[in-house]
Structure 1
Amino acid sequence: MIEYVKGELTELTPTSAVVECSGVGYGLSISLNTFSALQGKPDCKLYVHEAIRDDAYQLFGFFDKEERELFLLLNSVSGVGGNTARMILSALSPAELVDAIGTENVKILQTVKGIGKKTAERLIVYLKDKVKSTSIVVDGKLTLGQADPAGRIVFDEAISALTMLGFAPAPTRKVVQDLLKEDPAYTIEQVVKFALKRL
């Protein structure tokens, strides 16, 4: 089993990355969250999930273990395959996804391409209890949205403003999330101002 690959990042697209290790190039399918995290990096370390079927052998790469953990949880739900799980993780950050499942927010899940109401409800039913034990919750990354409604408002409004300014949703979410982790007391204006410097 491959735990991770570490080496030179030789190719990068929004859906795939090629990492060269000891002269071998590993092609990995990635999410937009991982793509954003890899921007501008000459070398990288990606955690791996191997999907082995009779007709295909596919490697999925993740910038951190938390995203891989969520991918495996999503993949365990009936009707959600590897590519659908990757699509969900491209549309929502790991913290947003856990927040949506934990608060039973069907509408947020339905914003993901290919996810209808029934699938969104199935994800919530199967994963609500499981996501509570993920390291994402343990690490306190869910303070936006559950413990702090005011922080959730700042988070949502800042993303809305930046999206209207033309920035892509996935990297915008990550930057806003990072800023609010640094200082949960930031106002919407401060978050937008600092985010503009990082995007």
Structure 2
Amino acid sequence: MIGKLRGRVDAIGESEAVIDVNGVGYLVGMSGQALARLQQGEEVEIHIETYVREDALKLWGFLSERERAWFARLQLIQGVGAKAALAILDALGVDELESAAALGDASAFGQAKGVGPKLAGRLALELKDKPPPMGRAFAPGFNVAASAGIASANPAENSGSANPARQDAVSALLNLGYAETDARRAAAAASRANPEAETGELIRLALKELST
């Protein structure tokens, strides 16, 4: 099984890319957002979810381990296959997906192509009050929530990475004794109310949310 590829972007298509690893070209299915961040000829590290079927082997690729972990988690929901999971990630991005899961926001899931009201409601119901997926730890000190797959000098380019202020707010709430699911839900609500808020403001908004 293949868990990760490190190589050069050889070609980029509408729904997949070819990653050249020591002369071997791996065809990797990826979301539109991920493909838009690739440049032909650049060196990349791609987190892989390998699907083996009786008549095929399919590689799905992600620019962060956090994205791959959510891709796998989404498919545990009845009615969500690989394409639907990819569409959800493409429509929401990981931060908004985590917020939608924490808040049980069916309308957010409904933004994804091919996700109707019934499936959106099921996603909201089954993901709410559950911690985010842990993912794989590739090295000592590896932080799954903060993993970005491809380093960039511009934080805006690392859309797979976690919102640092929101993660700090969650940690602060946990230290105050709140349950993880409550802390994540409150932090998500605070972040949605004020996406530009720094950690202190997020904590204040989250505490207000928890008090209601």
Name the TM-score, length of structure 2 as normaliser. 0.65
TM-fit CA distance, 1:84: 1.0
TM-fit CA distance, 1:124: 2.0
- % same residue: 30
Match of 1:147 among 179, 187, 190: 187
Counterpart residue number, 1:159: none
Q: 1:47/1:150 Cα in 2 relative to 1: closer, same or farther (>3 Å)?
A: closer
Question: Partner of 2:37: helix, strand, or coil?
Answer: helix
Name the TM-score, length of structure 1 as normaliser. 0.68
What aligned pairs does 1:6-155 form with structure 2 within 5 A after superposition? Answer: 6-39=6-39, 42-132=42-132, 134=134, 135-136=144-145, 141=163, 143=166, 146-147=186-187, 151-153=191-193, 155=195
Count the aligned residue pairs: 160
* More helix per residue: 1
TM-fit CA distance, 1:151: 4.8
List per-residue Cα deviations over 1:60-114 (Å, max 9, x = no partner).
0010100000000011111111111111111111110010111111111111111
TM-fit CA distance, 1:33: 3.1
* Long gaps (5+) in structure 2: 135-143, 147-160, 168-184, 201-212
Counterpart residue number, 1:167: none
List per-residue Cα deviations over 1:3-33 (Å, max 9, x = no partner).
1111110112342111001111000001133
Q: CA RMSD in A?
A: 3.0
